[in-house]
Structure 1
Amino acid sequence: MELKVAFGATLRQARLRKGLTQEHFSLVSSRTNVSLLERGGTSPTLVKLEELCSVLGVHPVSLVAACYIRKENITDLKAFLAQVQKDLKAIDT
């Protein structure tokens, strides 16, 4: 699955699970842009990702992690999170 498509599907799933409409994002993004993101037509900037996540009430890293779980069809969440933790320790030296 293409990364933009995985992100869009993850954003849409998170929005729907929170019971939000695309209009709930109107203070941070137009409905048209949210729709484009959800269809995988574009990717958000880091600033836009943070704004979208503020509306969703989730940490941006959580949304990105969920996106990669979808993209790579990860089934072992514990192993995935252990790898992320290992990577973070290696980066933060």
Structure 2
Amino acid sequence: MDVKLAFGKALRQIRKARGMTQEAFEPGVVRTYISALERGIHSPTLERIVELAALLNVSSAALLTLTAFYEQDSQDSASFLNELCEDVCNWI
């Protein structure tokens, strides 16, 4: 899956799981921008990813991890997370 579409899917899933509407991000982030992100039309900056994650009350790492999961079209979340943990453990 295209990374912009994967990010949009992750953003939408977390937003809905939190019971938030697209309007809930206003006034800091307008609904049309959230809609464009969720449809894969725009790519957020790193600063915007951190801001969106904070508004969703999740870590930016969680938002990007879910994005990577969708981008890779992963079906097995346990294998995906194990591989991610192995990669991270090699760096810290």
Structure 1: how far apart are the matches of 2:39 and 2:19? Answer: 18
Moved over 6 A (4+): none
1:43 is matched with 43
Q: CA deviation at 1:53?
A: 0.8
Q: Deviations over 1:11-57 (max 9, x none)?
A: 11211121101111114311121111111011111111111111111
Higher relative contact order (CA 8 A, sep 6+): 2
* Identity over aligned pairs, percent: 37
Structure 1: how far apart are the matches of 2:45 and 2:28? Answer: 12
Verify the 8 A CA contact 1:6 1:71 in the aligned structure 2.
Answer: yes
Q: Does 2:56 align with 1:77?
A: no
Q: 5+ unaligned residues in a row in structure 1: which ranges?
A: none
Tell me, what secondary structure is at the counterpart of 2:62? helix
TM-score by length of 2: 0.87
Verify the 8 A CA contact 1:10 1:63 in the aligned structure 2.
Answer: yes
2:11 is matched with 11
The number of aligned residues is: 92
